[in-house]
Amino acid sequence: MDLQTAEKRARDLQNILNQYNYEYHVLDKPSVPDAEYDQLMRELIELENTFPELRTPESPTLRVGGDILDMFNKVEHRVPMLSLGNAFNEQDLRDFDRRVRQAAGRDVSYVCELKIDGLAVSLKYTDGLLVQGATRGDGTIGEDITSNLRTIRSLPIRLKEPASIEVRGEAFMPRRSFEALNRARAERGEEPFANPRNAAAGSLRQLDPKIAASRNLDLFLYGIGDVGETGIESHSEGLDYLEKLGFKTNKERRKVSDIEGVIEFVSGWVERRPDLPYDIDGIVIKVDSLSLQRQLGTTAKSPRWAIAYKFPAEEVVTTLLDIELSVGRTGVITPTAILEPVQVAGTTVQRASLHNEDLIREKDIKIGDQVVVKKAGDIIPEVVNVLADFRTGNEKEFHMPTHCPECGSDLVRIEGEVALRCINPKCPAQIREGLIHFVSRDAMNIEGLGEKVVSQLFAEQLIQDVADIYKLTKDQLLGLERMGEKSVTNLMRAIENSKGNSLEKLLFGLGIRLVGSKAAKTLAQEFGTMDRLMEATDAELTAINEIGGKMADSIVTFFDQPEVKELIGELKAAGVNMEYKGPRPSAAAESDSFFAGKTIVLTGKLEQLTRNEAQEKIEALGGNVAGSVSKKTDLVVAGEDAGSKLAKAQKFGIEVWNEERLLEELNK
């Protein structure tokens, strides 16, 4: 066959196969037997292998997976992919409706859609051709996973119209695919995935697209990033337009005229969700009118015109097999329930938090008990109660130990605390947990140095304190199990980059008792350098609004230790930054702003700002935002459902503002 004939045949095969693919995976109405589809696909593969120049970007052969990638490139979303605020009950939905109608000044229509439990993705098309697919990431920056998304057969590579458009959807793994995948993994002796969502996310972040292709993922489109010049005026019209372009949308949606229709739709799906061939974890409710959506606007994290109703937490019964003890970085001994594996809210649960000995006594928990376990969303599973009527007499009382399970030192209970502590500073568990904390995201944020790697390095005695992290060599790391050339190179780069972190990251990472991330930032801003902070007295520390007497004592005691001074010296020698690099309030803000030098507490639910937004704006104007009310507090801003902090402010005679008064002052 000559090139011209092959080119025509390849084009015909691509068109035929893409149409058959659309009929099967989008319309769910296949027009030909699988055998015929497979025969035509084999013919196209042979043609493209013979004439590689015929393999175009829209070829269905690319759905079986292309070349292995080196890494995922970063992608900036032109329109941010915001997360949704949550509703957990009918009253939350009515409160959302009230806020929307107050802003709109009229009744509002909504669109209700199933909240697919998968991975949010953004797809970019130019002249009808898929050019890029990306993960949501942090909402602004995602990762380019185009090669993996191409393997999803319900995703059109070329649209039915030459539209240039950016659309959003949810990639997911159907239950049938999930069950087949876990069966195959079990046969290979591999650990099964906990739930379809994790399996889908893991599949789309494989560097080898052939792995993603083998997982049989699916995709529902739920929105358009920017309707632009399309003339679309409502969300429901947008979904219809996506279908017209050849996208697969979820048919289980409904446009309703008021909140009563929303509540009826939600109630129906609470019971019907197990009947679906895929997992959902709630219902998404959106204002239908796009002009009203624009009027309502967004906060930094979520739109004010949409909300996600989360299904009630599932509760299941299982057996409590044992109680395991762990030692945290501050020496606290934490009991954890070891359970007979059970499915709760879409995940396999084998462990649940018991918090402390007092809770075990309060709930009368014994080893061998039948217990009710609850898990809501991403919250850690908890033991709700014991089914005492099912006891056989073989259950065993649990008693907290008198000595540390790791180092054997005596355990103590500090006055006023419920926790037992190991106070041995050389306890291996505390050292290991301290190292894990030091490299964590909110501290030094050393990517690639997670809990498993830290534990491995500690076990191999390559790191005994945080300064040792900066003494690691490439040769040492290459000698470890599962540490290849590329991962070691990336880890060494991440360690080097962490040296440039601003001072507050280091302070938080050091794990000073009572000093959280907010206090660490306050200390870094106030003192500027590590040397100045190390010399600070109790009086200088307590003069700072957010620093109380106990925290000041803890800081002074920490830096008085010779071992700490030696550690700081080693970190300095390694090139770790010891200065604050963050923004400081401008001189104008410090002198002119109402907030300059004042301590403000935020409490209750704000409607127009998130807590973080309000805090950032206040701090930019020279104010300090504290977490609790004291006699040093200058102002309390109270939103809806403000509780004990508002009562305390009123008791102390502290000035109280509502959100409108706050916004008025911020806008001056």
Cα–Cα distances (Å) from 194 to 181, 191, 516, 518, 580, in that order, read: 11, 9, 32, 34, 42
**Euclidean distance between CA atoms 610 and 309, whole angstroms:** 19
Please give the Cα distance from 341 to 429 (Å, whole number).
27
pLDDT of amino acid 584: 62
pLDDT confidence of residue 609: 80
Q: What are the tokens at 65?
A: 């997976």
Beta bridge partners of 87: 309
Fold of domain 587-666: Rossmann fold (3.40.50)
User: Which CATH number is 3-64 given?
Assistant: 1.10.287.610
Helix residue spans in 474-546 (DSSP H): 474-478, 485-498, 503-509, 517-527, 530-534, 538-542
Structure tokens at 476: 């040492």
Measured between alpha carbons, how far is residue 351 from residues 5, 41, 274, 336, 390 in Å? 63, 47, 24, 7, 21
Instruction: Return the active site residues.
Output: 115
Residues in the chain: 668
SS3 at position 337: strand
DSSP sequence for 558-597? HHHSHHHHHHHHHHHHTT---B--S----HHHHHH-TTTT
Nearest alpha carbon to residue 651 among 630, 627, 624: 630
Percent of the chain residues topping a pLDDT of 90: 49
Q: Which of 109, 89, 112 is nearest to 258 (CA)?
A: 109
pTM above 0.95, yes or no: no
> Do the Cβ atoms of 513 and 558 come closer than 8 Å?
yes
pLDDT of residue 252: 94
Could you report how far apart the first and last alpha carbons of the chain are, in Å?
76
The answer to whether 504 and 521 have CB atoms below 8 angstroms apart is: yes
- Residues 6 or more apart in contact with residue 20 via CB below 8 angstroms: 30, 31, 32, 37, 40
Tell me which residue has tokens 């058959």: 20
What are the tens digits of pLDDT across the range 250-302?
999 999 999 999 999 999 998 788 889 998 989 999 999 999 999 999 876 78
Superfamily of domain 428-498, CATH level 4: 5' to 3' exonuclease, C-terminal subdomain (1.10.150.20)
111 closest CA partner among 269, 301, 283: 283
Q: How far apart, in Å, are the Cα atoms of 655 and each of 544, 546, 548, 634? A: 20, 18, 21, 7
Q: Under DSSP, is residue 204 helix (H, G, I), strand (E, B) or coil?
A: helix
Across the strands, what pairs with 308?
A: 86, 284
The hierarchical CATH code for the domain 314-390 is 2.40.50.140
Give start-end residues of each CATH 3.40.50.10190 domain in the chain. 587-666
Identify the CA nearest to 203 among candidates 237, 234, 233, 180. 180
For the chain, give every residue range classified as CATH 2.40.50.140: 314-390
Q: Which CATH number describes the domain made up of 85-310?
A: 3.30.470.30
Q: Where in the chain is the domain with CATH 3.30.470.30?
A: 85-310
pLDDT confidence of residue 300: 65
Enumerate residues 6+ apart whose C-beta is below 8 A from 19.
Answer: none
Q: How far is CA 451 from CA 33, 52, 455, 556, in A?
A: 50, 45, 6, 30
Residues whose CB is less than 8 angstroms from the CB of residue 567 and which lie 6 or more positions away in sequence, other chains included: 465, 466, 467
User: Which segments in the chain show pLDDT lower than 70?
Assistant: 24-26, 28, 34, 62-71, 300, 345-346, 376-379, 583-592, 641
E-assigned strand segments in 235-279? 254-256
pLDDT of residue 345: 64
Domain 503-573: which CATH number of 1.10.150.20, 3.90.1150.10, 3.40.190.290, 3.50.50.60: 1.10.150.20
Q: Identify the burial level of 262 via C-beta atoms within 10 angstroms of its C-beta, where 0-12 means exposed, 13-18 middle and 19 or more buried.
A: buried
Q: Which of 272, 176, 281, 156 is nearest to 219 (CA)?
A: 156
Whose structure tokens read 């979820």? 250
Burial 481-493 (b: 16+ CB within 10 A, else e): eebeeeebeebee
**In sequence order, which residues have a C-beta less than 8 Å from that of residue 120 and are 6 or more positions away?**
81, 135, 136, 168, 169, 170
CA separation, residue 569 to residues 467, 574, 577, 656 (Å): 9, 9, 12, 46
